[in-house]
Homo-oligomer: A and B are copies of this chain.
Amino acid sequence: MIKIGVLGSGTGSNFAAIAEAINSKEIIGAEIAIVISDVKNAKILDRAAALGIPNKYIPADDFKTKLDGKQEQDYIDALQKANVDYIILAGFMRMIKGGILNAFPLKIINIHPALLPAFPGLHSWKQALDYGAKYAGCTVHFVDAGMDSGPIIAQSAVEVKDDDTAETLHARIQVQEHIIFPKVIQLIADGKIKIEGRKVKIG
């Protein structure tokens, strides 16, 4: 049984997809040990509470866009106290840096709403639309010190339609996110993920 810690700043739709997959036994061998948010009244905390999952607001606002300093240590302490094996970033709107990466090497997993390495950074579905790309998508990847640059575990391609708005495209990408992220959790619970350099292989 692997224990997962979830960090999120918003509605937590990916957290909900994973929690529901665990509850319905679509995912076997994983449990969510704790949900932590840097936003006091984030919906992700309410959702965790409703599912009976331990959840906690931990301030992180000593820095604006990253998790760092004493507050980073607060996160590490809470995650270690909950005995988590893996950390999932589910809409956590801060850059993850050295301290927590060193505490959980290659154990932090993010989902990004683009087919990386295309469109890293914020609002990547809008970036794809503005670029005129015919494919957008989403990527589940290990977090490293770069911006959305770690080894890729899974991706799903989503066709961009001529009449897409940022909202319609984002909605179709999120459908795929809620499919591939639970699948990756199952692969991890089954010990099927092998990392070779920056290549991730399944099997």
Contact = CB atoms under 8 A, between A and B. Distances in A.
A132 B118 contact: no
Interface stretch (A13-21, A42-50, A193-201): A193-201
A131 B198 contact: yes
B133 A152 contact: yes
A202 interface: yes
A81 to B, nearest CB: 33
Interface in A93-143: 115-119, 130-135, 137, 139
Given A157-B157, A162-B202, A134 B118 contact: no
Interface centre among A116, A117, A130, A134 (most CB of B within 10 A): A134
A203 interface: yes
A132 B115 contact: no
A14 B130 CA distance: 28
